[in-house]
A and B are shown apart, each in its own frame.
Chain A
Amino acid sequence: MQKQWLHAVPWDSVLAVNKALCQAQKLDPSTKARSLEEARQHWESAIHRSLSLKEVLDVCRECHEIAPFTFNNGNTFAAVGRTIIEEWTKSLPPVEGQIVQTTVSHYIAGLIGRRELLQVLKHFQDSWKPSTLREEAKPAPRPKAASPILTEVQPQA
């Protein structure tokens, strides 16, 4: 599903998350100037784009790999990624929601690969709908007859 996942997540929010996490550990929230600028540009280029879930998680993972923060680099982007999908995981049973959230944070932090992420997302893809959509979702009507364009032309004897 394509969506503007990052519309409520300006780069300043990412900085604020890192600052809060560093303050909690009494660490100086120091950054690496060049990496910070690169990650900011990458993030801001994705904010107004409609992305699939995998694409937005890739943005988080790539920013994590750029490593703009000295401390809590992984936790910052993992927390942002988890929060992005929080609304969606609420529609899942708690244990399954936890599985998805953990998988997402591990993917962002580089602990698992793309294949594992896609396997997990694929497993939950059918049950993974917001509650409102799930209630409204109705099975699509099946076509009564096949379109003449798609039917095979019988060779004449």
Chain B
Amino acid sequence: MQETGDSPRFGAALPGAECEDAAALTAGRFCHNVALVTHRSDDEKFLRAAIKTGLRLQAREVSRTGKSPRGDGVATLQRIKASLRNRKKTSKSNP
């Protein structure tokens, strides 16, 4: 099968390949992105999937408990600060 000169040559867009004409250059830009997505390494695929899974676990945890894991610590600190403030107030009012 013979290739026509006008048809976009997607293969030319792959890294390391050369583009000969304007059509190839135009298509090449599009194809470069496709190549980046499809030629993703196993490491990167795994990482994306793991982050997605982790975020889902987080969301489930928040929906179950109704608060983020940080909530406990912040609430405790706020309670301590409030009690200190109250203590100062009472000591000022009763010298």
Taking a contact as CB atoms closer than 8 A, the residue among A7, A10, A16, A24 that contacts B58 in the complex is A24
For the complex formed, measure the closest distance between the CB of A4 and the CB atoms of chain B, giving whole angstroms. 11
Interface size of A by CB at 8 A reads 23
Number of interface residues of B (CB under 8 A): 18
Are B55 and A71 in contact, with the CB atoms below 8 A?
A: no
Q: A25-B70, A27-B70, A86-B49 known; A76 and B43 CB under 8 Å? A: no
Over the window 1-35 of chain A, the binary record of Cβ atoms lying under 8 Å from chain B Cβ atoms (1 yes, 0 no) is 00000011110010011001100110100000000
Q: Chain B contacts of A80 at CB under 8 A?
A: 50
Tell me how far the C-beta of B53 lies from the nearest C-beta in chain A, rounded to whole angstroms.
Answer: 4
Residue B46 contacts which of A8, A71, A72 (CB distance < 8 angstroms)? A8
Are A13 and B53 neighbours in the complex by a CB distance under 8 Å? no
Q: How far is the CA of A149 from the CA of B38 in the complex (A)?
A: 56
A21 touches B46 (CB 8 A): no
**Cβ-defined contact, B61 with A17, below 8 A:** no
Residue of A nearest to B41 (CB): A8
Smallest Cβ distance from A12 to chain B, in angstroms? 8
- The distance in angstroms between the C-alpha atoms of A24 and B58, with both chains bound, is 9
Quick check: B54 and A76 within 8 Å, CB to CB?
Answer: yes
State the 6 A-B residue pairs at the shortest beta-carbon distance, nearest first. A79-B54, A8-B42, A83-B50, A79-B53, A20-B51, A8-B46
Q: Which residues of A contact B (CB under 8 A)?
A: 7-10, 13, 16-17, 20-21, 24-25, 27, 71-72, 75-76, 78-80, 82-83, 86, 105
